[in-house]
Amino acid sequence: MPLAGKATKMTGTKIALVGIGKIAVDQHVPALNASDAWDLSATVSRKGSVEGVPAFTDFHQMLAERPDIGVISLCLPPVPRFEYAQAALLAGRHVMLEKPPGATLAEVITLQKLAAERGLTLYTTWHSRMAHAVAPARDWLADKVIRKAHITWREDVRKWHPGQDWVFEPGGMGVFDPGINALSIMTHILPEAVHLQSATLEFPANRQTAIAAQLQFSGNVSADFDWRQTGPQTWDIEIETDGGHLALRMGGNVLELNGQPTAGENTIMGEYPALYARMAELLEMGQSEVDLAPMIHVSDALTLGRRKETEAFFF
């Protein structure tokens, strides 16, 4: 990186990134490097590192040795995340959590209380809410009556999580790992909250989490999640209202109103840059943002859903 760039970065807020896996490399690191507001000052990971950034393997050592780093972004898988988040808050650091914010609801509520007690910022991020067309969709829906909504979220787990058996382990979320992105958009754009009424969950005979799910919510809202879709991938939300038809396609990136694509706002930033901009804003205001709604719908589906065994799944 040229010296000019380095000098600019010196003014950013120091942040440490924990869990240098695929999502960190693909999204978090580029977002932080592209922003003047942030200075990626350390990484913590068993194996991964980022060139030019001090790398730690032990989180407690990093916390002890780098009191100058006030913000921690956690992008490791949900199950171990709580211990790191709790340690960071107890060490007086602000915390940003990848989605889902934890393996259980109770642990996130514990973190929320801890952050509040210590006057620290906790931000449970939902990256799909930052997709280009989500805010315009929300604005358009705000004064409409929803007659019907349907989510189709079908992708190929072999393409997006090649060989990652942990996604099918307890706490690995299964098809709700992508599905919760759809639910994070749904809970953000619908003008009235909905609740699950019934669900069917398809569990492969050899797995602990669902590979497909059909959800029926109140208010004529439904969702179809499937992790077995080869060929073109589908991340669509279609909504019938008293004022016309809205479709959000490409995971919230394309908006169609009454069948016509709307002009994209090309100046809007990407999902992860927008998350980090929001974190900077929360720090500035001294606030937290903790929204459990998408995770509650997943828990509700696993509590209320009817289980069907389906054929064994192998990567």
**Among this protein's residues, is 22 annotated catalytic?**
no
The residue annotated as part of the active site, out of 99, 144, 159, 308, is: 99
Read off the tokens for 109. 């509520």
- Partnered with residue 215 across adjacent β-strands are 199, 223
CB 252 within 8 A of CB 246: no
CB 275 within 8 A of CB 125: yes
Q: Where are the alpha helices (DSSP H) in the chain?
A: 3-9, 22-23, 29-33, 59-65, 78-90, 105-118, 134-141, 157-160, 176-189, 271-285, 293-304
Phi-psi region of 123 (alpha: psi -120 to 50; beta: other; left: phi over 0): beta
Rounded distance, CA 201 to CA 302, Å?
Answer: 8
Torsion of CA 149, 155, 161, 162, to 10 degrees: 170
CB 258 within 8 A of CB 269: no
Cβ proximity to a second copy: between 27 and 209 the closer is 209
Rounded distance, CA 121 to CA 281, Å?
Answer: 10
List C-alpha distances in Å: 218 to 102, 129, 175, 197: 26, 22, 21, 6
Read off the tokens for 125. 């991020």
- Those residues whose C-beta lies under 8 Å from the C-beta of residue 79, and which sit 6 or more positions away, are 103, 171, 172
**Contact positions toward a second copy, by CB under 8 A?**
82, 103-107, 109-110, 113, 170-171, 193-196, 198-199, 208, 218, 293, 296-300, 302-307
Rounded distance, CA 108 to CA 95, Å?
Answer: 12
Rounded distance, CA 196 to CA 158, Å?
Answer: 28
Name the residues annotated as catalytic.
99
